[in-house]
A and B are shown apart, each in its own frame.
Chain A
Amino acid sequence: MLCNEEFSPITPSPDTRRHRITLIEALHIVLSHTYGADLNILHELVCRYDLDGFLLRQIRHSRGLRQTHFILLLSTTPSNKPVIPLLNRYCHSKNCEKSVAALIAILALRPSTAISAIALFPHRLRALDISRIITLLRRGILPIAYEPLLTSDNTNLRMLGLAIVRNFGIEIADKELQNIVVASSDEMVVREALHTLSVLGRPLGRAKIRIRLSTMEASYRRELCRHLTREGYSLAALRTIFSPAEIAHSATLLKSYKRNLEWHPTLNT
């Protein structure tokens, strides 16, 4: 069994601390890459070797990243013990990685409470944290629909909803995204919504979106122009959103993608 780039032989009865950790990490790796895995099938294995009790003891007796790692392992270790109150406590930790690991564990063990757990999460979710939640979605663990997330007032839920739309290419969410761009007061949410619309290749020339864009910083407008150029928007589409001075660089960049100026004997056969 390969764990952390070291081979460790798994014995039928993991009675040492190292064997138990190796077994738990091996299960975590396998389940992290498995779609639709039901954690309940592991109950017998977990109960037989008391893996959940062992993991909870390790969490209590360790600190820092090691503790964070053990909390994350709890997400793939089903338990009959009351772990949710403990995880809720770690959710409020000042250590960002620890609190996110606790949230991931709660989402994996109690998916029915996912939305409330994310809504009550005290920190702002970073892009990397949202990607970890999306990974749970891709594994079929979290039954979350995007519509209530996009219309929610909670920033974390909204950002998650935008990430879901972007990752799964949900083009029918176009209207909700445009409403967020027009109506939301949170600049970061508006930028995420604009980014999501651009990834989906949706038009951004609507009058209200143009008005909202005109209120944003010049540096962000330049970044957005470059991003839309990379995403494949045409010059005509860019001209409806930006001024001629803003699209000057994009125009020359687009030209550099279009024409083959030289005939090469070996490459052009």
Chain B
Amino acid sequence: MAPYSQYLIIAVSAIVLIAITLRTIRIARTIRLQRYIASDAPGCHHTLGSAGCSILCHGIDNIEDIQHLLSDEHCHYEVIISLDADTRPKLFDEIITRYKMIRVEAPDSSEFRHKAIRRLYRSRQRCFRRLVLLDKAEDSPYDDINAAAAVSSYDYLLPIGRGTLLRQGAVSSLAIIISECRHKPIDIVYSHADGSMLFRRDAVASLGGFSADIHRRIAHSRRQTTYIPIFENFRPLPREYIIRTITPALLLTTAAIIIGGYQAALIVLATMLATLAAIRHTLLLTDEKCSLTAIVCHILHIRLFFYPRNFFLS
């Protein structure tokens, strides 16, 4: 094997290994810090100011997910569920009955572009006052969360997709991040650990609402990154995205092996094993299941470290 190609493969492998190791170390340190302050977080509601967020839910499938979302101890947040009563009548009625919801006037907002909201519901019971349900025709995920944003009352928005749940204390962690960013204008908080994004309401309104490229449209100086994992279960990436990303990587790896020979194959194999070990360690720290899907998604999240990603919902 020509020496330059060997050096190139070693250099690329080293860069990948260093990037993944650094990311693993940062996630591990952030999780240890999060666990350290976890005992203080529930008692700090009154001192975190008015920092709170509206959780915008699209694609809720079962009522237990709603119960889980409502169980965070932080007091300044609300859960807004966008659901189509025509296509999911049974679930809709179950939510209304269980949480004693009443129909109220829907706010008329021109800040966000969305299809008309048919009905809006709030709970009569004080213990469920943070739950809001809106009935609108099912459309794209962006349209659904735009409608949810239009009825939100907090300054920050956390959109979540189908089957996504929050980790314990996630809202408190977000509130702490928001309170620490008060001295500088932040429009988005992006978590490298799981790809979650928290948006400032006014920033989203000024951009006309949520869209696939909203992350790219926000200025770099107004972004805040964190390594705190927010979601409990790993957000699955779209299949086309995975294929589009994995295929060139596999082709490049094959080409490197063909050009470099068995030595290149050994180097690439060692890099992959070290990468998988680092990912497994990170996933174990976040209590995730080490399934193949989780590992592949984790690799892709690492790749997105180098440039802003599209905003998507499952």
Contacts and interface: CB of A to CB of B under 8 A. Distances in A.
Interface in B17-59: 29, 32-33, 36-37, 40-41, 43-44, 46-51
A257 interface: yes
B48 A127 contact: yes
A259 B43 contact: no
15 contacts: A65-B32, A65-B36, A97-B33, A97-B37, A128-B176, A131-B40, A163-B47, A199-B46, A219-B202, A230-B153, A252-B108, A255-B105, A258-B105, A261-B103, A262-B103
Interface string A239-259: 000000000010011011111
A126 interface: yes
Contacts of A255: 104-105, 107
A257 B122 contact: yes
B126 interface: no
B270 interface: no
B197 interface: no
B116 to A, nearest CB: 14
Nearest to B108: A252
A262 B154 CA distance: 26
Contacts of A259: 104-105
B109 A249 contact: yes
B44 A131 contact: yes
- The interface centre, meaning the residue of B41, B47, B101, B104 with most chain A CB atoms within 10 A of its CB, is B47
Contacts of A173: none
A222 B204 CA distance: 14
Interface in A199-224: 199, 219, 222-223
Contact of A127 (B96, B101, B176): B176
Contact of B202 (A126, A130, A132, A222): A222
Contacts of B151: 253, 256
Nearest to A267: B100
A211 to B, nearest CB: 22
Closest 6 CB pairs of A and B: A131-B44, A252-B107, A262-B103, A131-B47, A127-B179, A227-B50
Nearest to A133: B47
A223 B202 CA distance: 9
B105 A267 contact: no
A229 interface: yes
Majority secondary structure of chain A interface residues (helix, strand, loop or mixed): helix
B244 interface: no
A13 interface: no
Given A256-B107, A261-B103, A130 B49 contact: no
Given A127-B176, A127-B179, A223 B50 contact: yes
A264 interface: yes
Given A68-B36, A97-B33, A255-B105, A226 B154 contact: yes
Interface string A117-144: 0000000001110111011000000000
A30 B84 CA distance: 50
B44 A128 contact: yes
B47 A166 contact: yes
Contacts of A226: 153-155
Given A128-B37, A226-B155, A255-B105, A135 B96 contact: no
Interface residues of B, number: 42
B64 interface: no
Given A163-B47, A167-B47, A249-B111, A261 B105 contact: yes
A188 interface: yes
Contacts of B101: 267
B207 interface: no
Contact of A167 (B37, B46, B155): B46
A252 B155 contact: no
A250 to B, nearest CB: 9
Contacts of B108: 252
Contacts of B46: 131, 134, 163, 166-167, 199
A65 B103 contact: no
Interface string B90-102: 0000001100111
A126 B97 CA distance: 42
A129 to B, nearest CB: 9
A188 B100 CA distance: 40
B310 to A, nearest CB: 26
A171 interface: no
Contacts of B49: 127, 191-192, 195
Interface in A157-175: 163, 166-167
Given A230-B153, A249-B107, A267-B100, A126 B50 contact: no
Interface in B56-85: none
Interface string A92-133: 000001000000000000000000000000000011101110
Contacts of B97: 266-267
A132 B40 contact: yes
A260 interface: yes
Contact of B104 (A128, A229, A258): A258
